[in-house]
Amino acid sequence: MDKYRFTYNDIHRTVRSLAERIGQSGYQADVIVAIGSGGYIPARILRTFIDKPILTVGVAYYDANNKPSKMPRKVQWIEEAERILQGQRILLVDEVDDSRATLEYCVRELLSHRPSSIAVAVLHNKLKHKKGSMPAEVALYLAGRDLEDKWICYPWDAEDIDDHDRQAGGEGI
């Protein structure tokens, strides 16, 4: 198997188990922050289990001329972030923890808005050397599943969802 392939149902089940583990941890979020675009659908599913408002942020590794850059940069951020996030318990959601660079960048930017706490939940964590690191302020880090360092095919990237589902065996393999 050179790739992982997950169906929407696989994702839904993973999010439910993540939500259960967040509940067991005792972390009570006030607000969900989704990192776009991969974090949008997982965040929406999570809201079925953790009914909190969803805010979104967008970051990219490309500059205005579509050239790759060294650092992520904001392409969209929360309006009046200071007023909205100060003193709040944030639950940051993304689909995959790959290099961790985007996650670290987002956590640091969100911390600058002085939330009372921040927790991170990702669907999938790739077991590999990470370029970024999780800041010590992160109260809780949870991954739905730890995976080998292989490409993950998400259902929302499929142009033919029926073919995607056919190719995805049980458990995304």
- Looking at the annotation, which residues are catalytic? 98
Q: Which residue is nearest to Mg ion (CB)?
A: 38
Query: Residue 97 binds what, of ligand G4P, Mg ion, none (CB under 5 to 8 Å, by partner type)?
Result: ligand G4P
User: By the 8 A CB rule, do 57 and 33 touch?
Assistant: yes
Strands annotated E in 23-102: 31-36, 54-62, 68-76, 89-97
DSSP assignment of 125-166, as one string? EE-S--SS---TTEEEEEEEEEE-SSEEE-GGG-SSHHHHHH
By residue count, the chain amounts to 173
Q: Whole-number minimum distance, CB 74 to ligand G4P, in Å?
A: 12
Name residue 53's amino acid: P
Q: Whole-number minimum distance, CB 158 to ligand G4P, in Å?
A: 11
Residue closer to ligand G4P by CB (options 86, 133) is 133
Residue closer to ligand G4P by CB (options 37, 112) is 37
User: By the 8 A CB rule, do 165 and 7 touch?
Assistant: yes
Q: Whole-number minimum distance, CB 25 to ligand G4P, in Å?
A: 21
Which chain residues interact with ligand G4P by CB under 6 A?
36-38, 61, 94-103, 132, 151-152, 154, 157
Q: Whole-number minimum distance, CB 124 to Mg ion, in Å?
A: 11
Q: At what angle do helices 40-49 and 8-25 cross, to 10 degrees?
A: 50
Instruction: State whether residue 100 is helix, strand or coil.
Output: coil
Query: Residue 151 binds what, of Mg ion, ligand G4P, none (CB under 5 to 8 Å, by partner type)?
Result: ligand G4P
Residue closer to Mg ion by CB (options 38, 115) is 38
